[in-house]
Amino acid sequence: MYSLEDLLHLMNRLRDPQYGCPWDIKQTWETIVPHTLEEAYEVADAIERGDFDHVQGELGDLLFQVVYYSQLAREENRFEFAGVVDSITRKLIRRHPHVFPTGDLYAPLDVPRLSEEQVKQRWEEIKAEERAEKSAAPQQLSLLDDVPGALPALSRSAKLQKRAGQVGFDWPDALPVLDKVREELDEVLEAMSENDQAAVADEIGDLLFSVVNLARHLKVDPEGALRGANAKFERRFRFIEQALRDTHRPMEDCTLEELDALWGEAKRQEKNLPSCG
C-alpha cells in the first residue's frame, strides 16, 4: 500500500521541470484554488448522499490539493508539507488545553473532562487570543477579520452573524428573526413595485441574510439546507422528465398545471417511500 511519502514523491515528479506532466508544471497557486473548492464540495456531497464507498477516494483528492500547495511552497522556499502538519498539530494542541494541559501530545489521558459549553467558551477565548496576536495594533482588530472572504455566501453570512452574536449583537431567539424575514420580504415587494432593479437586488440580499439568520437561530446549517433543497428539486424534476418520457410527451407541450400535478405526484411518492431508519 502506498504511503504519504509516496504521494509527496509523486507530486514532486509531476512538477519536475524536465520530466513532469506539462499540465501540472504550468499550474500556480491561483489555478489550483478552483479545484480545491470543487474537491471539498465533492467530499461533502458524497457524505450527504451516504456514498461512503467513495468518501475515501474523495478525501484522497482533497488531500492531494494540500500536497499540491505544499509542493508549490517548497519550490518557492516558503514551507514544506512537514511544516503544514506541524502547524496544524501545534494549533490543535494549543486550542485543546482541556485535553493537552501541559502541551504534550503524548501525555497520559488523565485530564478531567469539561462540559461542551466550557469547551466552546475556551475555544472562542483561544481564537480571540490568536486573532490579537496577528496584529501589532490589537485595538484596531475587528471580530470579523478572520472570517474568510472566499467562503460560500451563505456559510460566510452565518459565520459573520455568529461572530457578531458573541458580543451581544444578535436577536434573543428565532421569533423576532422571523418578523425580520417578513419585513425584508415586504421590502422586496416594494422595490418590485417601483421597478428598481438595483433596489430589488439589494433587498433580495437582505432577505437572504435574514433567512440565514433564522436558520442559525434554529440551529440549521443554511448551506447544507440549501444543498438539500437543491437535491430535492433535482430529484423531483427528474421524476417529471421520466414521467413525460414514459408518455412520449415533450415538456414544452405541457401546461404549467400539468407539470405542477406531476410535481405533486413526485412529492407524494417520496412521502410513501419506506423509512431507512
- pLDDT, one tens digit per residue, over 35-52 is 998 999 899 889 988 999
Does residue 274 carry a pLDDT above 70? no
When comparing pLDDT for 242 and 143, which is higher?
Answer: 242
DSSP three-state, residue 100:
coil
Query: Residue 53, class by beta-carbon neighbours within 10 Å (0-12 exposed, 13-18 middle, 19+ buried)?
Result: exposed
The HSE-up count of residue 70 (CA atoms within 13 Å, CB side) is 21
Reported as a pLDDT band with limits 50, 70 and 90, residue 136 is low
Does residue 236 carry a pLDDT above 60? yes
Reported as a pLDDT band with limits 50, 70 and 90, residue 161 is very high
| pLDDT at residue 267 in the model | 93
Q: What is the DSSP letter of 253?
A: G
Reported as a pLDDT band with limits 50, 70 and 90, residue 112 is confident
List, for residues 238-271, the tens digit of each pLDDT value.
999 999 999 999 999 999 999 999 999 999 998 8
Query: Could you tell me the CATH superfamily of domain 153-220?
Result: MazG-like (1.10.287.1080)
Domain boundaries along the sequence of the chain? 4-95, 153-220, 224-271
Does residue 135 carry a pLDDT above 80? no
Domains 4-95 and 153-220 equal at CATH topology level:
yes
CB atoms near residue 103 (< 10 Å): 10
Q: Which option is the CATH number for 4-95: 3.50.50.60, 1.20.58.100, 1.10.287.1080, 1.10.3720.10? A: 1.10.287.1080
Does residue 55 carry a pLDDT above 90? yes
When comparing pLDDT for 130 and 211, which is higher?
Answer: 211
| pLDDT at residue 276 in the model | 42
Whole-angstrom Cα distance, residue 268 to residue 102? 58
Q: What is the pTM of this model?
A: 0.66
User: Are residues 176 and 188 in contact, defined by beta-carbon separation less than 8 angstroms?
Assistant: no
| pLDDT at residue 202 in the model | 96
Does residue 275 carry a pLDDT above 50? no
| pLDDT at residue 124 in the model | 77
C-alpha cell, 232: 430535492
Angle at which helices 81-95 and 116-133 pack, to 10 degrees? Answer: 130
Whole-angstrom Cα distance, residue 214 to residue 177? 6
Whole-angstrom Cα distance, residue 53 to residue 223? 24
What is the per-residue DSSP string for 192-240?
HHTT-HHHHHHHHHHHHHHHHHHHHHTT--HHHHHHHHHHHHHHHHHHH
Range 58-63 average pLDDT: 97
Range 185-198 average pLDDT: 96
